Amino acid sequence: MSSPVHRLEAALARRPADARLLQQLADLYVRSGYLLKAVAVLRQLTELAPERADLPLALARLHVELELIDDAEEWFDVARERALRVGDELVAAEALNAHARLRPHDVVVQLRLVEALLREDRHDEAATTLNRLRAAHPELPLSLATVRSACHAIRQRDAIEAQLRSMSFAQPN
């Protein structure tokens, strides 16, 4: 009798682009503790389903669990960008919040969070985050005006980085 993993792998050999089977295999790998295998399958699924913002978010979380923080940060950014592109504000906020928890003293990440909170009319949380950032970085002149200006510059940089990433994904390996 074959294991569920072997059955899914055999089914995928016959239908390698079956997103449902890939998702099942990734979930099974995670439940079984094969996180690196799950990452490989989720990367493949991410390429097959570019409209799904939840996939890069799952990849980011797996990278955090694997303590691959730089990779996790990249996937949080991809998740946020993809979520905003497809209009999934919930996943965008989830990715940004997780990234902010990962880097509580990173000025850029925290400013993105402040901006998102302000957009959502969550002024108290934005003020709390901004005050925490001010306490961590007293050398920075963090007024609301400078936050807005910094957020604008960050958005421009993010747009350029997203453009470069999409161009590099389009390149053959």
Distance of CA 7 to the CA centre of its chain: 30
Instruction: List, in order, residues 6 or more apart from 23 with CB less than 8 Å away.
Output: 45
CA distance 43 to 135: 38
State the pLDDT at residue 170: 45
State the pLDDT at residue 146: 60
Angle in degrees, CA 19, 57, 89, rounded to 5: 105
Q: How many CB atoms lie within 10 A of CB 121?
A: 8
State the pLDDT at residue 171: 42
State the pLDDT at residue 39: 97
Stretches where the chain sits below pLDDT 70 are 1, 142-155, 157, 166-173
CA torsion 109-117-65-17 (nearest 10°) is -100
Among residues 142, 137, 64, the alpha carbon closest in space to that of 105 is found at: 137
- Global pTM? 0.71
